[in-house]
């Protein structure tokens, strides 16, 4: 639950975090600041960003620039980059973390509802990636992308189908550019978190009535949710030069959740020792 990297591990780096004013983006950004980075946080709500930036700077003593931006709009992203360069002189890393999501049977979704999630998650991520990548290539600067996906990017999942489609696209983007843009010294990696409680995710994905029916904790072999600092440690490592040779990787941090759901017989943990004794007797008979 403690910070893992050496002091100043991100010193002199400027990192942009999309969705950096709330939830996991804020937790990762706060740790980047503690490690000496300059931070730019961006999302649609300027008031949320400004309050978060002031609190994060106060907590860490670091520099935080809040810039409002809807990542579905390419020109707004170019503005974030320009403001970043005016303030800090350069950009070293982009954490593509912003997302939109909610649960719904797919047949109940309007095409606009499908669009809204795919546009935030996939279009927003490739927009930011394209703008920052072009900037780094034009200026012959190295850069690091870190993209937040989730484990259903590869398994798929019912009831969050627009998000599953979009996160799968982000994973493909990560792996594709890890190869194509390595020649420019641009790395691309991803993290696939399992459940880490945040207000944004919990109110949309596990509202009380649903959480009563399916307790997300029960799906996790380690029987606990992730701590924000655990994710921040991994993100800081992948953003830092300590991971300079890691490129095209997606690191799962989910307490074993998705494999637990996939393994045919993992559900046998409900069988008690007495029942195993009975089964053994029957087998011996
Ligand atoms: C069905 C819905 C809906 C819902 C919105 N819509 N919510 N349909 N069920 N719960 C439909 C609307 O009816 C509308 O379609 C269209 O979607 C756009 O809705 P708006 O409310 O106008 O959109 P907007 O105000 O822009 O809000 C976007 C949003 C919202 C995605 C709907 O939830 C949001 O702002 N989210 C940002 C943060 C977020 O989602 N965080 C959670 C990430 S967690 P019509 O046809 O009526 O016009 C995450 C975790 C993954 O990704 C893994 C966990 C383990
Ligand atoms: P969150 O607090 O709701 O974060 C989502 C952020 O995205 C918000 O700050 C939101 O800010 C921003 N955003 C949404 N639409 C945007 C747009 N069009 N342009 C710019 N910013 C936009 O939820 P979270 O749980 O921290 O999620 C963060 C990331 O982790 C997401 O990628 C999510 O898929 C991933 N994840 C979370 C979990 C989990 O258990 N929490 C698990 C797996 C993966 P505005 O509303 O101000 O725009």
Residue 212: the pLDDT is 86
CA of 10 to the centre of ligand 1 (A): 34
The answer to whether the beta carbons of residues 64 and 50 sit under 8 Å apart is no
Residue pair 174/250 in contact by the 8 Å Cβ criterion: yes
Q: Is 169 in the pocket of ligand 2 (CB under 6 A)?
A: no
pTM of the model: 0.98
pLDDT of residue 22: 98
Superfamily of domain 14-284: NAD(P)-binding Rossmann-like Domain (3.40.50.720)
* The pLDDT of residue 39: 98
Give the whole-angstrom CA distance, residue 157 versus residue 164: 6
Give the pLDDT confidence of 64-86 residue by residue, as tens digits. 999 999 999 999 999 999 999 99
> Over the stretch 146-167, which tens digit does the pLDDT of each residue have?
999 999 999 999 999 999 999 9
What integer pLDDT is reported at residue 179 of this predicted model? 98
Angle at 153 between CA 202 and CA 199, to 5 degrees: 15
DSSP string, 17-66: EETTTSHHHHHHHHHHHHTT-EEEEE-S-HHHHHHHHHHHHHHH---EEE
E strands along the chain, which residues? 14-18, 38-42, 64-66, 93-96, 143-148, 186-193, 250-253
User: What is the whole-number distance in angstroms between the Cα of residue 9 and the centre of ligand 2?
Assistant: 25
Query: Which residues participate in catalysis according to the annotation?
Result: 152
Is 110's C-beta closer than 6 angstroms to any atom of ligand 1? yes
> What is the CA(140)–ligand 2 centre distance, in A?
31
- Asked whether 72 lines ligand 1 (CB < 6 A), one says no
Low-confidence ranges of the chain (pLDDT < 70): none
Whose Cα sits closest to atom 8 in ligand 2?
19
Mutate to test the pocket of ligand 1, among 73, 112, 113, 216 (most ligand atoms within 8 A of CB): 113
pLDDT at 66: 98
Q: Rounded CA gap, 176 and 35, in Å?
A: 29
Residues making up the chain, counted from first to last: 285
Q: Give the pLDDT confidence score for residue 21 in this predicted structure.
A: 98
* CA 94 – CA 47 distance, rounded (Å): 22
Whose structure tokens read 């095409």?
111
């Amino acid at each position: 639950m403690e910070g893992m990297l050496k002091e100043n591990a991100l010193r002199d780096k400027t990192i942009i975090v999309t969705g950096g004013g709330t939830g996991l983006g804020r937790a990762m950004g706060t740790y980047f600041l503690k490690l000496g980075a300059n931070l730019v946080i961006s999302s649609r709500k300027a008031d949320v960003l400004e309050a978060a930036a002031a609190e994060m700077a106060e907590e860490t003593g670091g520099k935080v620039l809040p810039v409002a931006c809807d990542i579905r709009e390419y020109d707004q992203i170019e503005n974030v980059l320009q403001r970043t360069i005016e303030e800090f002189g350069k950009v070293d890393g982009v954490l593509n973390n912003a997302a939109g999501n909610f649960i719904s049977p797919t047949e109940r979704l309007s095409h606009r509802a499908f669009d809204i999630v795919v546009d935030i998650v996939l279009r927003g991520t490739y927009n930011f990636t394209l703008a920052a990548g072009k900037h780094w290539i034009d200026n012959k600067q190295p850069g690091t992308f870190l993209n937040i996906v989730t484990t259903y990017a590869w398994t798929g999942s019912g009831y969050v189908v627009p998000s599953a489609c979009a996160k799968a696209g982000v994973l493909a983007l990560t792996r594709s550019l890890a190869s194509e843009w390595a020649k420019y010294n641009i790395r691309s990696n991803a993290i696939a978190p399992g459940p880490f409680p945040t207000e944004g995710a919990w109110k949309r994905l596990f509202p009380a009535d649903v959480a009563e029916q399916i307790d997300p904790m029960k799906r996790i072999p380690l029987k606990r949710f992730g701590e924000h600092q655990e994710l921040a440690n991994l993100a800081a490592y992948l953003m830092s030069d300590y991971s300079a040779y890691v490129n095209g990787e997606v690191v799962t941090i989910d307490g074993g959740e998705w494999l637990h759901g996939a393994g045919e017989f993992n559900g046998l943990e409900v069988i008690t020792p007495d029942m195993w004794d009975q089964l053994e007797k029957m087998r011996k008979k």
